[in-house]
Amino acid sequence: MISPKKYNIEYFLFILPAFSLFTLFFIIPFFSGIYYSLTSWNGISPKKPFVGLRNYSMLLGDRAFWASFRNTLVFTIAHVAIVNITALVMAFVLVKNIPLRKLFRCFFFLPNVFSLIIVGQIWSFLLGPVSYELGNLTNFSPLKIGWLSDPNIAIFSVVLASVWQAAGWYMLLFVAGLEAIPRDLYEAATIDGAGETNQFFSITIPLLVSTLVICLFLSTINSLRVFDIVYSMTGGGPGRATETAILNIYDTTFNSFFYGYGTAKAVFLLVVIILISFMQIFFLQKREVKF
């Protein structure tokens, strides 16, 4: 254990740059945001009238925000489930000794290097004009579906694009987790007569929980604050069918100039993200298996 005498001036000088950046870009904006959420500031005027909790009481009756919050939850549930299952399947295949597996890893990871704005533009083109023209040429009715114009389908079209972009990243995490599992366990299980299915559920999944916690944590946070790809593909439309909470906050704050009210929405969303994240970590860490 380090003695308190070890904490001299040099120690604090070393951590000063990182702490300064943390203070500048997190602590100050965080408390400033809480203050602005208690005002009716429009983002331009030097005056910031204090209104207390009025913005939060308005939030309770804001149907547009709750509709966007519901869309965010639908997107989050669909994205988290599909992207993690897809990534796990890809990782499980690519840890096998198959030809060109390293090339396939690079290929599957490639979409992750693209900006979400670019990904949104690509998929809005593919699911729009390209899909419609192919449907006319082949007379294949599923291609003629209004992937981005049907309010019941549009949100899942965005999920499809987001999974395509993100699956490669989570695949690499799962690959690292799978390769860290000792091979001796599988050899012993094989000798005992356990098949691949039994090994997967009795060895792989329990020892992969720590990686799964990380993947679920990251994918949930990224889904709850999704903005770029929705803004690029649909802009929240048709109507408000794909409007997410962040998109609603953006519209309230920067298009309608209700800066204080928009900040109150952002603070509420931050609290929700923190609560969901802690719940995930709390319940999943109990199921971790050490080796």
CATH number of the domain residue 255 falls in: 1.10.3720.10
Domain of residue 167 covers 54-285
Rounded to an integer, what distance in angstroms lies between the CA atom of residue 51 and that of residue 232? Answer: 35
Task: Flag whether pLDDT at 273 surpasses 50.
Answer: yes
| Per-residue pLDDT, 45 | 85
Q: What is the mean pLDDT of residues 26-54?
A: 90
Give 283 or 77, the one with higher predicted confidence: 77
Residue 28 belongs to some domain of the structure: no
For 81, residues 6+ apart whose C-beta sits below 8 A from its C-beta are none
| Per-residue pLDDT, 1 | 45
Cis amide bond preceding 238, omega within 30: yes
The burial class, CB within 10 Å (0-12 / 13-18 / 19+), for 166 is: buried
Residue 113 belongs to some domain of the structure: yes
pLDDT range class, residue 215, cuts 50, 70, 90: very high
DSSP state letter for 193: T
Task: Flag whether pLDDT at 289 surpasses 60.
Answer: no
185 and 206 Cβ atoms separated by less than 8 Å: no
- Averaged pLDDT of the chain: 88
Rounded to an integer, what distance in angstroms lies between the CA atom of residue 24 and that of residue 13? Answer: 17
Q: What is the mean pLDDT of residues 245-268?
A: 93
165 and 111 Cβ atoms separated by less than 8 Å: yes
Q: What is the mean pLDDT of residues 238-250?
A: 93
Residue 290 belongs to some domain of the structure: no
DSSP state letter for 39: B
Residue 45 belongs to some domain of the structure: no
Task: Flag whether pLDDT at 147 surpasses 80.
Answer: yes
Q: What is the mean pLDDT of residues 56-82?
A: 95
- The encoded tokens of residue 224 equal 């709850």
Q: What percent of the chain has pLDDT over 90?
A: 48
| Per-residue pLDDT, 101 | 80
| Per-residue pLDDT, 54 | 94
| Per-residue pLDDT, 288 | 61
Task: Flag whether pLDDT at 17 surpasses 80.
Answer: yes
Residue 187 belongs to some domain of the structure: yes
Give the number of domains in the chain: 1
| Per-residue pLDDT, 86 | 95
Residue 149 belongs to some domain of the structure: yes
The pTM is what?
0.88
Task: Flag whether pLDDT at 230 surpasses 80.
Answer: yes
Residue 232 belongs to some domain of the structure: yes
Q: What is the mean pLDDT of residues 72-77?
A: 96
For 269, residues 6+ apart whose C-beta sits below 8 A from its C-beta are 69, 224, 225, 245, 246, 249
Give 181 or 67, the one with higher predicted confidence: 67
How open is the CA angle 48-51-52, to the nearest 5 degrees? 120
Q: What is the mean pLDDT of residues 79-94?
A: 93
Element (H, E) at 230: helix 228-233
Q: Is 257 helix (H, G, I), strand (E, B) or coil?
A: coil
Residue 11 belongs to some domain of the structure: no
